[in-house]
A and B are shown apart, each in its own frame.
Chain A
Amino acid sequence: MEDILLDVLTKNGLLTGFAVIGFTMLVSYWLSSRFTRGKLHGSAIAIMLGLALAYVSGLFTGGQKGVADVPLLTGVGLLGGAMIRDFAITATAFGVHFQEIRKAGASGVVSLLVGVILSFVVGAAVAAAFGYTDAVSMTTIGAGAVTYIVGPVTGAAIGASSEVMALSIAAGLVKAILVMIASPFFAPRIGLDNPRTAMVFGGMMGTTSGVCGALAAIDPKLVPYGAMTSTFYTGLGCLLGPSLLFLATQALVD
């Protein structure tokens, strides 16, 4: 009996994923209304639960993909994987007004450039403060503070050590997680309640997973605007990291 049940659950992984995530949402929204009277949004709690589950799973399986490394839960990996994620993010654009996007055009572009360069500079400075003073390590860790994809792409291009690569990925992950969890709390202070600011938010923070998770908790209507700019961020980072930013760092350090 037990074997047959496990077999059904693993064979139909995506369905198991729907059921597990659905249950997680149910629990989160219940916790939200029962203990925070809706002040801490259900989706924010669900994301924290997701991250906590990923941490526990990582400890037990030793894998890199959170709960997706648990054989029974590979379907969650499919549900939250790149294909469905891109599909669902794009769907949120349905009903978006193009005028809003055009209005925020200039600040959106500026936010992308400032976001990438500023994150890089801060990351590289922290790297230097911790004794990673050579140009390659500073650039790689700085690029990791841009996003956890820009870090390894840049590091591979300029020949960073695997220790530094791991640090750079970790820096990017910390950023993604922090954006997801902390932004909803500070959103009112920076006026993050309209499409324009959401686009700037996407451009400044850049980590698509972090930005979309945060906006989902702040106001789901803002998701498409933040996603729109943040989707260009990683590309811009991969472009600038191994080229301009590396050369600039080299010129400063050597």
Chain B
Amino acid sequence: MAIYGTALLAACVLIGLFIGDVLGSAIGVKANVGGVGFSMLLLIFASEYLRKRDLLPTPTKEGVHFWSAIYIPVVVAMAAQQNVVAAVKGGPAAILAGALATAVCFALIPAIARIGTKGPTTDAQTIAE
């Protein structure tokens, strides 16, 4: 039944958010620390476990797939409730602070992504081959 999948998903989110809140209060931060991240890990492990034991029939999967498919519209709904007026009104200081922070971090992504790999040589080898 589809509800099994949705229930599994809901349980993972609730447990994950709980862990995030507990972690937040443990380190004295007024925020949920990694709640959704924990939820995702829980879901990954739970589905792996169930799949191996053949306990994940198609209807159950559908109960999760629907929510994963509805994700982009949810993001659009989220965008539609941002305080865009405040962002624009913040003036040049706010716009520059936000924009520069974004640009600088974005530019560094390739360098950080290389950490832990064999480095740019792998690219060169691929081309050589």
Q: How far is the CB of B18 from chain A (nearest CB, A)?
A: 12
Interface bracket on B: 35 or more
Instruction: Pick from A1-9, A63-71, A244-252 the stretch touching chain B.
Output: A63-71
A161 at the interface (CB under 8 A from B): no
What residue in chain A is nearest B105 (Cβ atoms)?
A204
- Which residues of chain A are near B93, meaning CB under 8 Å? 126-127, 130, 132, 141, 167, 171
Chain B contact residues: helix, strand, loop or mixed: helix
* Distance, CA A57 to CA B2, complexed state (A): 37
- Which residues of chain A are near B116, meaning CB under 8 Å? 103-107
Within 8 A of B (CB), among A128-144: 130, 132, 141-142, 144
- Which residues of chain A are near B45, meaning CB under 8 Å? 98
B86, A122: Cβ atoms closer than 8 Å: no
A88, B80: Cβ atoms closer than 8 Å: no
15 A-B pairs within 8 Å (CB atoms) are namely A47-B75, A47-B79, A54-B82, A67-B80, A68-B81, A76-B77, A76-B81, A80-B75, A80-B78, A84-B74, A107-B112, A119-B105, A170-B91, A173-B90, A174-B94
- Which residues of B are interface residues toward A (Cβ below 8 A)? 9-10, 12-13, 16-17, 20, 23-24, 27, 29-37, 39-41, 43-45, 47-48, 61, 64-65, 67-68, 70-102, 104-110, 112-117
